[in-house]
A and B are shown apart, each in its own frame.
Chain A
Amino acid sequence: DIVMTQSPLSLPVTLGQPASISCRSSQSLVHSDGNIYLNWLQQRPGQSPRRLIYKVSNRDSGVPDRFSGSGSGTDFTLKISRVEAEDVGVYYCMQGTHWPFTFGQGTRLEIK
């Protein structure tokens, strides 16, 4: 199985400051169709996961543009340009290239 490793696992951030989460996969995530199915999901306290970013860098509808995704091969990053209170929660990277699809351990973002 592909192992997804996130860092940091805990991320205290001051409101208005940037935040960055790293995700590394144990194998290349390039699918046979040429796409990279690396996705980022947010889970706010008590809620279902919600997808923010799909295929590395495509932001979902309704997701603020302060969220951005980047990366290639095996190294990927989620950036929040200015953290707001509503961003508190756990962030997961997830790969959909190889079955079984796998998630990172999650990064808990909190306000300092």
Chain B
Amino acid sequence: QVQLVESGGGLVKPGGSLRLSCTASGFTFSDYSMSWIRQAPGKGPEWVSYIINSGTTIYYADSVKGRFTISRDNAKNSLYLQMNSLRAEDTAVYFCARGSLWGGDYWGQGTLVTVSS
């Protein structure tokens, strides 16, 4: 069965960096676009970024452009989100999801990122 497992979240100071990972199983990873979506405490979701299956096309929300980098390693069935220059407003649960335009048919359980001094 399809599984997406995020890791790498934690507490980081403003201006710091974190790298999130999402390990996929149960499907042919290289066939699918993948996304990162975040949800701040008590708020609705925000689509942060997505990358197509080949990795050649990438989109970022304006709120993270220039600070976050999405990447994937199809040989390792893994999706990544490098987050630099973190701000308090980046505090959220970060989910990876399979797919993009059609809303993500599978979502992981999420990993919490807290940016605080």
Contacts and interface: CB of A to CB of B under 8 A. Distances in A.
A78 interface: no
Contact of B44 (A55, A60, A106): A106
A86 to B, nearest CB: 18
Nearest to B98: A51
A100 interface: yes
A92 B46 CA distance: 11
A51 B101 contact: no
Interface in B93-116: 95, 100-105, 107-110
B47 A51 contact: no
B27 interface: no
Interface of B: 37, 39, 44-47, 50, 59, 61-62, 95, 100-105, 107-110
22 contacts: A35-B101, A40-B103, A48-B107, A48-B108, A49-B37, A49-B39, A49-B104, A50-B107, A51-B102, A51-B103, A51-B104, A51-B107, A54-B102, A90-B44, A92-B44, A92-B45, A96-B102, A100-B47, A100-B61, A100-B62, A102-B47, A103-B45
